[in-house]
Amino acid sequence: MAAWCETPGVIKYGILGVGMMGREHILNLAVVEGAEVVAIADPFEPSRQAAVKIANSIQRRHTLQVFEDHKALLDSGGCDVVIVSTPNMTHARILLDILSHHRTHHVLVEKPLCTTVADCKEVLEAAKSRPDILLQVGLEYRYMPPIARLIKEVKSGRVGTVKMVAIREHRFPFLVHDWNRFNKNSGGTLVEKCCHFFDLMNLIIGSQPVRVMASGGQDVNHLDEAYDGKVPDIIDNAYVIVDYSSGARSMLDLCMFAEGGQNEQEICVTGNAGKVEAFVPDNTVRIGSRSGGRQNVETIKVFNSRVRYEGLHHGSSYLEHLEFLAAIKSHGKKPPAVSLDDGLLSVAIGVAAQKSIELGRAVSMEEIKVF
């Protein structure tokens, strides 16, 4: 079993699941130097056809291998790296198949890591026996240029000790996929979508979440839809409060019927010395201090000159690929930037928030059995 990629120069990628996000990865990797998509796998023929059409229009060297099943792609031996961009409820089984396979495939798995805490922990346990495999979770919002700048300012001590984090996402409804309309498939909105924001909270605050309280519901979206006679049950708005062991607290304000706003994401971090805010897609960061007051707030437009493809997530998927490729090429010296533990914790907070809404009370992280 090879410990690291033996391909000189070019790292070969296989995409497991070529729906919207799988095809987005093909487009990103087309402009990543040293990366080449050589294979795809998807049981849905229209997705395969769409992916082949895109790949044929941009590929530089290789003819794309096409499979209906992820196991066939793994057995083919043609890939150094696989990207798992299949529906959420399939992640656990596919990851376990990769980790038990006799070949080494490094893995970038789309968020959420899995839909349940139990599945996440099973994957973490299986990964312990495969030190030859690098795994990174696709929580790419960390790389959005204004958010990355906000994190940099916080970590530099600009705001002092972090006391509060507030994140607002006001956006459009989920895109049309029958699987993502049901909690049992997606993990629920606060797992499927909001694991991004819980990951940011964890990264910014830097201590363990201890308690989650949430209020939310399905008030507008998908109420007139039905799939095999079943009406979707995913929530479309929520408030979530997370308490941390450091004494800091965070809040998520989610609305998925709010297309009429200027920014989709707004993040505010307040410490005992100052405050920093980021706005997406305005690409704006505001930085201020308590001593400087309102008149001395600095407003900065933020871009990342390394981004060669903006894509669906403002360049963050491209930057994510650069970071993971660097980890692979380091031959184990550079760990993946977003670990399985990070993925687990982001899912666990979402699970706790969904449970809090269901039970109508605060939920401790001990109840979720994450630690």
Could you tell me which residues are beta bridge partners of residue 280?
265
Where would I find the H helices in 138-207? 145-155, 183-186, 189-192, 195-205
364 and 267, same structural domain? Answer: yes
24 φ, ψ (degrees, to nearest 5): -60, -40
Judge whether 354 lies within some domain.
yes
The per-residue pLDDT for range 335-351, each reduced to its tens digit, is 999 999 999 999 999 99
Q: How far apart are CA 324 and CA 368, in angstroms?
A: 30
190 and 54, same structural domain? Answer: no
Which range of residues forms the domain containing residue 44? 11-139
pLDDT of residue 8: 57
- The residue with tokens 């690098």 is 134
Judge whether 104 lies within some domain.
yes
| Strands 162-170, 135-138: pairing kind | unpaired
| Strands 106-110, 274-280: pairing kind | unpaired
The arithmetic mean of pLDDT across residues 141-147, rounded, is: 98
156 and 82, same structural domain? Answer: no
Read off the pTM. Answer: 0.96
Q: What is the CATH number of the domain that holds 23?
A: 3.40.50.720
pLDDT of residue 175: 87
The arithmetic mean of pLDDT across residues 274-293, rounded, is: 98
Q: How far apart are CA 108 and CA 104, in angstroms?
A: 13
Q: What's the structural domain count of the chain?
A: 2
- The residue with tokens 């095999």 is 228
The per-residue pLDDT for range 98-142, each reduced to its tens digit, is 999 999 999 999 999 999 999 999 999 999 999 999 999 999 999
Check if the beta carbon of residue 25 is closer than 8 Å to that of residue 85.
Answer: yes
Phi-psi region of 229 (alpha: psi -120 to 50; beta: other; left: phi over 0): left
Judge whether 321 lies within some domain.
no
Q: How far apart are CA 353 and CA 252, in angstroms?
A: 11
Instruction: Answer whether residue 166 shows pLDDT above 60.
Output: yes
Q: How far apart are CA 339 and CA 337, in angstroms?
A: 6
The arithmetic mean of pLDDT across residues 331-338, rounded, is: 92
187 and 133, same structural domain? Answer: no
Q: What is the CATH number of the domain that holds 176?
A: 3.30.360.10
- The residue with tokens 């916080």 is 154
Strand ordering across the sheet containing 162-170: 298-301, 284-289, 274-280, 265-271, 162-170, 249-255, 237-244, 209-217, 363-364
250 and 261, same structural domain? Answer: yes
Instruction: Answer whether residue 5 shows pLDDT above 90.
Output: no
Q: Where residue 327 falls among pLDDT bands split at 50, 70, 90?
A: very high
Sign of torsion over alpha carbons 136, 56, 35, 97: positive
pLDDT of residue 217: 98
- The residue with tokens 């001990």 is 366
| Least confident span in 45-54, 91-100, 143-152, 172-181 | 172-181
Could you tell me which residues are beta bridge partners of residue 254?
169, 238
358 and 283, same structural domain? Answer: yes
287 and 155, same structural domain? Answer: yes
The arithmetic mean of pLDDT across residues 204-224, rounded, is: 97
Q: Where are the beta strands (DSSP E) in 100-144?
A: 106-110, 135-138
pLDDT of residue 60: 60
pLDDT of residue 62: 62
pLDDT of residue 168: 98
249 and 173, same structural domain? Answer: yes
132 and 86, same structural domain? Answer: yes
Judge whether 76 lies within some domain.
yes
Cβ-based burial of 145 (10 A; exposed 0-12, middle 13-18, buried ≥19): buried
Judge whether 323 lies within some domain.
no
Last residue of a domain, one of 85, 114, 139: 139
Please tell me what DSSP assigns to residue 181.
G
pLDDT of residue 205: 98
Phi-psi region of 117 (alpha: psi -120 to 50; beta: other; left: phi over 0): alpha
173 and 66, same structural domain? Answer: no
165 and 86, same structural domain? Answer: no
The arithmetic mean of pLDDT across residues 145-155, rounded, is: 98
Instruction: Answer whether residue 6 shows pLDDT above 80.
Output: no
Q: Where residue 176 falls among pLDDT bands split at 50, 70, 90?
A: confident
Check if the beta carbon of residue 308 is closer than 8 Å to that of residue 297.
Answer: no
Coil vs helix vs strand at 370: coil
Instruction: Answer whether residue 32 shows pLDDT above 50.
Output: yes
Judge whether 183 lies within some domain.
yes
109 and 201, same structural domain? Answer: no
Judge whether 351 lies within some domain.
yes
The per-residue pLDDT for range 223-241, each reduced to its tens digit, is 999 999 999 999 999 999 9
pLDDT of residue 11: 97
Average pLDDT, the chain: 95
Check if the beta carbon of residue 9 is closer than 8 Å to that of residue 75.
Answer: no
* Rounded (5°) CA angle 58-25-122: 150
pLDDT of residue 163: 98
Last residue of a domain, one of 119, 139, 159: 139
Last residue of a domain, one of 139, 163, 182: 139
The per-residue pLDDT for range 41-75, each reduced to its tens digit, is 999 999 999 999 999 888 665 689 999 999 999 99
- The residue with tokens 């699941």 is 17
324 φ, ψ (degrees, to nearest 5): -70, -40
The per-residue pLDDT for range 83-95, each reduced to its tens digit, is 999 999 999 999 9
Judge whether 313 lies within some domain.
no
